[in-house]
Amino acid sequence: MRDLVELMVKSLVDDPDQARVNEVSGESIVVYEVSVAEEDLGKVIGKGGRIANAMRTIVKAASTKTDRKATVEILS
Amino acid sequence: MEWAEGTGKTLEEAQQDALQQLGASADEVQFEVLQRPGALGSIFGRAEFRVRAILEDRLEQQEEPGEPVAIEEPPAEAEPQEVPHRDLAETARELLQQMVDLMGVEGTVQIAECTDEEVRLNVEGDDMGLLIGRHGATLDAVQLVIAIVANRRVDAGARVIVDAEDYRARHQAMIESRAHKLAEEAKETGKEVVVPDLKAYERRLMHMALKSDPEVETYSEGEGNDRVLVISPIV
């Protein structure tokens, strides 16, 4: 799942070397914390959060195959 | 100092443009990249490179301490290429296949259609319900990400559609038949039928489906999530 988030984030940004995905595991949920170069924030959030929401939807769907829910948070 | 600025869709084009203005050849000048197409530029088709070509001998003369001329060697992977949509389709297909695999979905991505305006990918396999999601929400999300990334990597400016087991085609047929059914209802009762909770493209499909029906007219009203389509009988 982390690979999925990383693929999307690194593909979206201009500076993939500065993109990080941190996995925070809870009991019933896994949160993927995304941090990117400041100039790239808009590229992973999108207008009105469209892109971030799309990533959340995708990760949530994929997580139905695992034992825990998963979501994405963009750190700024 | 003698220099010229050139623009172009690729770095080479921009450099050639600058060289032509100077009347110089590539080994006589140093290039400085002033502007690269950003991601947004690519999406809206305004992607352009801007370079400055500086004649070498002038360059040496003006070499003062503390004022180095910034000469940037462009990284090769940043160059957008002028390519037909087949490359866009192939890039999008590969990316989608990677995403499908990482989502844990058993599916194979195929290029279903590749026209001037549109690249259409279709995923076939098990688990397509997972990929489609409720009311196609997951499919829409995947399509958004694929379209942005593919159009960025290949500056083609074509629409990228992601479908699974022809869900979108079937959904379109369903929306259209629903439109006709509601139109009949409007005619029978003589009252307006209000259709809420449609996506923008679904409203468009309904408008189009009923355009040829002389007994009803359609319009939309309201804003944002409250926007509704109204089918109104003509009496």
d(CA A32, CA A14): 20
Could you tell me which chain A residue has the CA closest to the CA of B134? Answer: A61
d(CA B101, CA B209): 37
Answer whether residue B98 shows pLDDT above 90: yes
**Predicted pLDDT at B201:** 85
Where does chain B hold its CATH 3.30.1660 domain(s)? 2-55
Compute the count of residue pairs across chains A and B with CB atoms less than 8 Å apart. 59
What is the token pair recorded at A51? 């892109």
In this prediction the pTM is: 0.65
Q: What is the CATH number of domain B170-233?
A: 3.30.1370.50
Answer whether residue B145 shows pLDDT above 70: yes
B63 or B221: which carries more pLDDT confidence?
B221
Answer whether residue B115 shows pLDDT above 80: yes
Q: How far is B149 from chain A (nearest CA, A)?
A: 6
Where does chain B hold its CATH 3.30.1370.50 domain(s)? 170-233
What are the pLDDT digits (tens) for B42-56?
Answer: 444 446 777 777 776
Q: What average pLDDT is seen over chain B?
A: 82
Which secondary structure element, helix H or strand E, spans residue B60, and what is its range? helix B56-61
Answer whether residue B60 shows pLDDT above 50: no
Answer whether residue A56 shows pLDDT above 80: yes
**Predicted pLDDT at B155:** 78
Q: How far is B105 from chain A (nearest CA, A)?
A: 8
**Among the partner residues A3, A54, A65, nearest to B145 by beta-carbon distance:** A54
Contact B145 A50 (CB under 8 A): no
Label residue B40 by pLDDT band (50, 70, 90): very low
**Predicted pLDDT at B83:** 41
Closest to B230 (Cα-Cα) out of B174, B187, B177, B192: B192
What CATH topology corresponds to B86-165? GMP Synthetase; Chain A, domain 3 (3.30.300)
The answer to whether the CB of B4 falls within 8 A of the CB of B53 is: yes
Average pLDDT on B64-68 reads 48
**Predicted pLDDT at B23:** 74
Q: With pLDDT > 70 as the criterion, what percentage of chain A qualifies?
A: 100
The answer to whether the CB of B180 falls within 8 A of the CB of B207 is: no
Answer whether residue B91 shows pLDDT above 50: yes
Q: How far is B186 from chain A (nearest CA, A)?
A: 36
Answer whether residue B181 shows pLDDT above 60: yes
Distances (CA, A) of B82 to B12, B73, B86, B186: 11, 21, 11, 51
Closest to A74 (Cα-Cα) out of A38, A29, A44, A54: A44
What's at B107, amino acid-wise? G
Question: How many residues comprise chain B?
Answer: 235
ipTM reported for the complex surpasses 0.85 = yes
Q: Report, at the CATH architecture level, how domain B2-55 is classified.
A: 2-Layer Sandwich (3.30)
Contact B144 A54 (CB under 8 A): yes
Average pLDDT on B205-234 reads 95
Contact A55 B103 (CB under 8 A): no
Where does chain B hold its CATH 3.30.300.20 domain(s)? 86-165
Q: What average pLDDT is seen over chain A?
A: 96
